[in-house]
Amino acid sequence: MFFKFLRPIGFILICLFLNGCTTIGGSTSWPENLPARQIFVDGYLAKRNVSAVDDKVIEAHLLWIKRFYQGTLIYPNGWNRASKLFLDSIESKKIRNKLKNRLNKLGIAIANEWAQDNDIRLINNVNIATWGSAMRTAAEREDHESFITKVESDVNELLAKTLQASQISYQRYYPEEDYDNF
């Protein structure tokens, strides 16, 4: 009976090990395709109203930031890829640049909150998946600016604690569509 569970447990341990390998040497360099590292360090400290914490704690937070932007083996569509596809679907260069700046600021706000410890964060995995699916729909419908405006508003309300994470659903953005987060 015990051996029946050995294979799945081994698989899980291998996945965790491989995921952990991405952190080796990661603390010394910061990817160029992410916003400045200090933005996220400052966000972490501000959330806790402290001026400093152990470097290992900050590095753990920054690892989640990297995962948000770059994706993971399990969920490879990080913010960078999703944003690029979203912006590439805009024909006007002027509108694309305008929305790119807003999308960059939105990504910072979402990432910094989502990467917080589970017991204090106000944005969760379901919210991220919901926004990812709705972002694809927005691009398909050429509803770029309206979508960003809605998400900016929702993120601000989440951070102000006037909106609950559980209130964020795909139907909030596109009520007549079916929700598919994959």
Q: How many domains in the chain?
A: 1
In a domain, 109, yes or no: yes
Q: Residue 32: enclosing H or E segment and its boundaries?
A: none
Region of poorest pLDDT, from 120-124, 135-139, 161-165, 178-182: 178-182
In a domain, 74, yes or no: yes
In a domain, 6, yes or no: no
164 Cβ neighbours under 8 A, 6+ residues apart: 158
164 phi/psi in degrees, rounded to 5: -95, 145
In a domain, 136, yes or no: yes
* Per-position DSSP letters for 83-131, written without gaps between them: HHHHHHT---HHHHHHHHHHHHHHHHHHHHHHTS-TTT-SS-HHHHHHH
In a domain, 163, yes or no: yes
Report the C-alpha gap between 131 and 168 in whole angstroms. Answer: 9
19 phi/psi in degrees, rounded to 5: -65, -40
Tell me which residue range forms the domain holding 155: 35-173
In a domain, 161, yes or no: yes
pLDDT tens for 75-116 read 788 999 999 999 999 999 999 999 999 999 999 999 999 999
